[in-house]
Structure 1
Amino acid sequence: MRDSVVEMIRATGAELGSARRLLGEAGGVAWDRLLDWLVDDYFRVVALGLENIPAQGPAVIAVNHSGAWGLDAFVLDKVLGRALDRRVRFLAAPFVFRTPILGRHARRNGALPIGPTAGVEHLNAGQLVGVYPEGIAGLEKPFTERYRLRSFSPGFAVAAIRSGAPVVPVGIVGAEEACPKLGEVPTLARLLGVPYFPVTTPFPLPSNWTITIGEPIPAPARPDGLAARRDAARALSERTRTAVQELIDRELADREHLFD
């Protein structure tokens, strides 16, 4: 009798596990279709300069972070996944992997947890690594400061110099208007265990998006001495920040219609 009960529990557990996997797969398909619709029909995303991403060898893809919900990360991942014959391994904050839907999507697309040496191993292996050097600060800025880049964390520059990988600057325009940050609710953020919880529109607005990919910035030779390496990383980080801001400013100046 006891063996039968144990076997029944095991069988039930296996069935529940299979059901969870099926639901996860179905959710993944639905999420991909939603992103396809957002990219093609809702945001009408235009990608410029895709040829600037190296066809082989390592590179760091450095991107501005904008819009209250960080939807830009998913849109860019979808666009590059379609356009390139190689995967971009984006770095993601720890809370992303703890979130059911976001975590599943991040793992399925090869995202890497942020860490002191995150991405170096993959760059040394000749892969593409994507970063949002502003971090959450890029999403937290109010709508009145849209498209004004926050400080870049130099970690990506350290990784680029260590691996000899060039840095490819990328500017995204459209996300700030799609999800304008109007405020935030710190109490709710603490309850949910996320860095912040924004007040924004209930659903993204149908703004026109442009993704502009600039020319690669070569990483300097790795200097001797800790102080010299710090200075080199800061210089590369600031040069990249300037390049991304210039891409954004140029696209804003050329933009004819915010909404179609």
Structure 2
Amino acid sequence: MSIDLRGVTAGYVKDVPVVRDVDVHVPTKAITTVIGPNGSGKSTLLRSVIGQTPHTTGSIVVDGAEVRGVSAHRRVSEHKVAFVPQVANVFGPLSILENLEVGGARLPRRQRRQRIAELLDTYPDLAARRRVRAESLSGGQRQLLSLARALMTSPTTLLLDEPSAGLSPAMMDSMFDAVRDTRDLHGVTVLLVEQNAVQSLEISDFGVVLVAGELAMHGPAAEILDDPTVGRLYLGAA
């Protein structure tokens, strides 16, 4: 499912936009990563797609349907968009199984159980701990659980806000592998916001660079990785 942002201006105060006049095309069944310095509007752009930014103008088209003005609930239920925030993305007192049950609460019981089995087969690290409370998991395991829970409803579009935040290097590798598998195994369109620019672009098909709320660059991820200006300013290149 593709996403098209056309002239999107968004923010939390009507007269003080965080993102200004952004045009971005997110292709179907591809990973698109949004990078940029802190405060550049990356998360605001993501939240405008799911409908959590209160003041948004411009056009937001998901698989051919205009969704600006449509509630976040309807974007999830009718347009098959799932969102994984950076924090508060799992229920700590609940087990892995219970978190997945909550994620698929609207599914018929048989379909929900089948979907849980499919996801636990995909993520054996979660399967081995299925009855462990989420609050007892490592940061990487919690992020993996948040991803699996988002997939319970078989979304066609997945929005991820800094999934590698606070993870060890080894767990970062596992998380980015899981994001790539989400595209490859589930055929999901992924729009990803990340501070870990290099590693996220390496698994991505396309990249977006935001600077001070405006679009600075948009194109194939490999081209952004190779761009000397982007490398010097945002990728840590010498």
More strand by share: 2
TM over 0.5: no
TM-score, normalised via structure 1 length: 0.35
Question: Which is helix-richer, 1 or 2?
Answer: 1
TM-score (structure 2 length as normaliser): 0.37
Q: Which has the higher contact order (CA 8 A, sep 6+)?
A: 2
